[in-house]
Structure 1
Amino acid sequence: MSTYQVTMWKLVIACLAWIVTVVISQSTTTQCDAYSNLSGTYYNCSSRGYRSVPMNIPYKAEIVILKNNFIKQVRSNSFVTLTNLHSLDLSNNRINTIQISAFLGLNNLQMLNLSGNNLVFLMPELFRPVRSLETLILSHNRIENIQAELLKDLVQLTTLDLSNNRIKVIHDNTFYDLVHLQELYLQSNSISTLTDKTLNGLLDLELLYLTRNKLVSISSEFKELTRLKFLDLGNNFITTIDKDAFGNFGRLTELGLENNNLSSVPKAVGKSASLQLTLRELYLGNNPIREISGSSFGRFTYLEDLQLDHMKLSELSLDAFKGMPKLRHLWLNSNKLKTIQKESIIPLRHLLKLYLDENYWNCDCSLFGLLQYLDQHPELATEKVIPCHTPLVRVGEPITKVLELSCDLESENFFSRSSSETPKEMTKKDALLVAIPTTFVMTIMLLAVLCLTTLSAKKWLQSSVKNKQLSGQPQLRRYNHQRHQRPQREHSKNYGIEVQAYATLEPPEPSPLPTRKTLQPYAYAYIDKRGSMQATVNLH
């Protein structure tokens, strides 16, 4: 046999093996469901255990569903006979390879779903046979790069979903030919930068998702998106936004900037003249913003929802929301607010819900006005019980307990409704101001009592010792005078006889000498002018 014949035989055997494999796989699978309705003729082969695209799909099928199978590869000409097909669902398989002519013959295809597969790379000419495609879903794959040539021929595309991939960079003019694209989903990727030309050509774009990426700053990337209505930039790392970044938005109704690193309300938002006329929903939650002042926002005529939760707000000015007459929902929960003046909320006449839980509420009279207003408008409150954070006597109690107190709102002093209660609620600071001086005075008094007690005991002890010693020794002539100071005890020895004397600081006055008849043994002692002790002992 010649080499040519051997090669032919090998090809024949390979073809037979492939046919056998297909037949076996078809025989081990369950029959697909075929039915028709107003949407068209369906051929549903989802969750049937297919490992390849089935070959027995009716040529009249208009909607083919092959999701939730084990298909790994889509070969060329797999759908070449399905000329009526306008929707193809290949989601949630294991597809990692799509041959270049896989979609050949699908001239009327409008929707292609390839989400939930293992795609990493797509050949540039892959979608050339499906120029009529309107919806392309490539989400939840492993795509890292999108080439501009890949989407060049999809001029009728209105929806493109590239979310939940591994895209890091989008090249300039990638979407330039998608002049009819209205929805672009790029969330949950690793995009860190956008240039002025990244989104070129998207003149009809209305919805753009860029949430959960790695964007740090926004400048003029959206200058051509004049028809954009929805923009989600949440869950990024944005710290700065150029003041003119949103200047060309004339139709934007919803803007998401939550979960970023913004330290204040961007001027591109608060001072944007175009946004003030169109914006209806604004999400700024979970940013490290500490204060909302009257200058933070302009006059947002049609704003209905404002999210300011999970921030570091500690203060709201009285005119913080003065330019939002149609606000319906206001999220202020999970901040560091201690009080809110009712004047901040009263202008919001169309308010439906006010979220105030998880704050550091100080339950004193500064909060009374707001709670009184909410008590008059119970529809604004949520079902959650909001506890007090201070003062100590009210920690954990519902903030509505403040309504049980009578407050002088002008002086911000509140009084108990009961005459037996104290006139003024004592705060922790007031308690300390009272307790510290009181404790100091009581301590001084206690020390004084201890000193007096000690001195009295010592004097009594000295008196007892003196009386005991004098009772067994010769009498000493003592010269005590009222003006003399307390005597000091001295000891002297003369002629072997111990003499005890109580000497004063001044020399004693001389006493008359005793006569011989009355002369008795006695000791005479005094202190001379030099301060030394002199003693004389006379023996009878």
Structure 2
Amino acid sequence: MNVTTILLIFLVFGSVQPHRLWHGGGRSRAHGRGRLGMAKRFAPECTRYREAGEKHLDCQDRQLTAIPPSGWPEDTVHLLLARNRLQVLRSNTFAQFRFLKSLDLQQNKLMRIDADAFAGLSRLTTLLLQHNSLHFLSEEVLLPLPRLTYLRLYDNPWDCQCQLDSLVRTLQVPSNRNLGNFAKCKEPPALHGQKLKRIRPELLCPELEERIPQEPKAGSSVLPPIRTKPEAIDTCHTYMFPKPLLDCGNQDLRNVPENIPPDIVQVDLSRNNIKQLRASEFVAARALKSLNLSTNGLEAIDTGEYISGSLQLVMGSCCFLARTMKFECLTYIPHSPTSTAAFAGLLHLRELDLSNNSLHYVQYGVLEDLYFVRRLVLGGNPWVCDYNIHYLVYWLKLHPGVQHFGLVCRSPEKFAGWTVQDYVKTYNGDCPEDNLLDQNNYDYGEEVRAETNEEAITFQPSPLRVPKKFKVIRLN
């Protein structure tokens, strides 16, 4: 009996002890997970890469609420912290990054930045603080940044009172022309919408309240200005790395936003509701290299007005068509680059995406400023294959280095599914070879000499001297 009792005791303790040990191990593992979770919250797996010989640390979209005191490479040159949950920047937050040249803090929830938050960043040239919740910012915050060249502050609810006086005066120093552009007051109501770069600093303090312009009274003839187009800074997000990008995608825009920053290289206007591009839409964005206008329902691109030169080179096909008993000439006349077309001024553009819109053809003159485009996306448009489409084909022929995609006829039905180039070949194919004016054998020199000679006889017919769209001349 005693032996049986002893065995039972051993069995009971044997079953309980492992159970206790397992629970203890579970708690230990749970604590381990907690510490691991804490470590991940403060030091997430960021993306490290090198571009142009400089180290980038991409910690965007990591749900960060604080900057880890250690663990990140101290030789980082570009630090990307956009779209996190940072609310406060304490003193010496970035002191370990003494090689830092750019710091992207946009689209966080920043409400306060201590005076010494950027201490040690003596090499910093670019600081992005737009799209946050900052009401005040002292000039002292910028004192540790002697090389600061670009500062973005817009889309913050700035309270334009005495606390902002020192910052406003700093931004308005003439040498600080790229600091704080487009930032506007939100409070008080009397100063709402005024730009920090232009507001009179003496209006910020309550003791000068009598000098603050009052809101128009009821019945007053002074009306607020009517804004017909949104401003880029109010509707879009700006990213400076790896390349300056203005992201206006899927914002339900009906027009191209105004005041696109001149240093922007890429603009994304896709998935909006822009039906028409007006003359000189992008004339201020001269550094633009990539423009995405896909999926807008775009129907028309304005050609604007242009100044034609004295020299008009005529290139095209003329022939007598037996089936119609008519003589037809299709003429394409390149014009001087001094135009106001929608794409005027985009001399550095390399990529243009016009896909998935409602374009039937591209009007004469629209593409004349795009000298260096290398990629043109045209698919998803209901291209109409008639004489209006010839301008686009001839422009592509004159720019053989352009890769283009999606140029397929949608109508008329007999050409549906054809490439536009094949359609143009059939258009010229109706001409007998002996009646076709071959542009390869056309003597442009004779026309040049005639156009530059003051005594030259006027060309006939005279409409050829005026730059127009494709001109069809039919002689029975």
- The question of a shared fold, defined as TM-score above 0.5 by the shorter chain, is answered with no
Work out which structure has the larger RCO, using CA pairs closer than 8 Å and 6 or more positions apart in sequence. Answer: 2
| Structure with larger Rg | 1
TM-score normalized with structure 1 length: 0.37
- How does the TM-score come out when normalised to structure 2? 0.41
